[in-house]
Structure 1
Amino acid sequence: MCGPEPLRDLDRHAPGVPGRAEHEQRAHHLGLDKSTMSGLVERAERRGLLARGPNPDDGRAVDVVMTPAGHELAERVYADVRRALGPLTEALGSRERQAVTRLLERMLEH
C-alpha cells in the first residue's frame, strides 16, 4: 500500500511547480533506494494517485505528478492527522503549539 509520504513529498520538492519533483529527489528525501521508490510510484499510479508525463524542459526525463485523486487523498490524510492530534495539542498554549509545529516541520525537512 502506498502511504501519504510520497504524495506529500511531490508538492514539497519542486518549488513553483505544484505536484512535480524528480524521482531521485523523492527517493533521497524519503531515505529509499531508487528501485523502492519506483515500486511506490508504480503502485500509486495504478491506484490513480500519480501520473507520469513528459518533462517539458528535458525530453529524456519523465515527470511524476499528483492527480486530482492524489491531491484529494493527501488532503484527507492531512485532515485525519489534524483531527487525531487535535486532542493532544489542546492542552498546549499558543506558543507551545507553535514550537511543536516548528520542531515537527524541521524534522520533516531532514
Structure 2
Amino acid sequence: MNGINVTPTQLLAGVGVLLVLFWVWRAGACRAKAAAEATRSGARLVSLVGRVLFNAGLIVAVQWVVITHPGNQWLLLAVLGLPALFASYALTKAMTVTTVDTSKRGGRR
C-alpha cells in the first residue's frame, strides 16, 4: 500500500496557503460590508431629500391656492405661518439628528 508522503515543509506551505485564502476571503467580506453600509447611508440621505421636497411642494401648493383666492386674513396668516413653523422645526431636526450605528462585534458599549 502506498501512503501519501508529505514533508513538514509541504504541510507548512499548505497551511500557509489556507491561511492566506481565509485572510483574503475575510478582507473581501469586510470590504463588501463597508460598501453596503455606505450605500445604505446614501439611500437614507436621498430618501430624506425626497420627502423634504415633496412636503415643501405640498405646502407651496396649499399656500398658492389660499393666496390666489383672497378672503380671510386669518386664514392667510395660518396658511403662511404654521407651515413655516413646522418646516423650520423639521429642517432643524433633520440637520441635527445623527445616528450611531453600533456593531454587534467587539463587546464594547
TM-score by length of 2: 0.28
Flag the structure with more relative contact order, 1 or 2, with Cα contacts below 8 A and sequence separation at least 6.
Answer: 1
Structure with greater Cα Rg: 2
Q: Which structure dedicates a bigger proportion of its chain to strand?
A: 1
Q: Which structure dedicates a bigger proportion of its chain to helix?
A: 2
TM-score by length of 1: 0.28
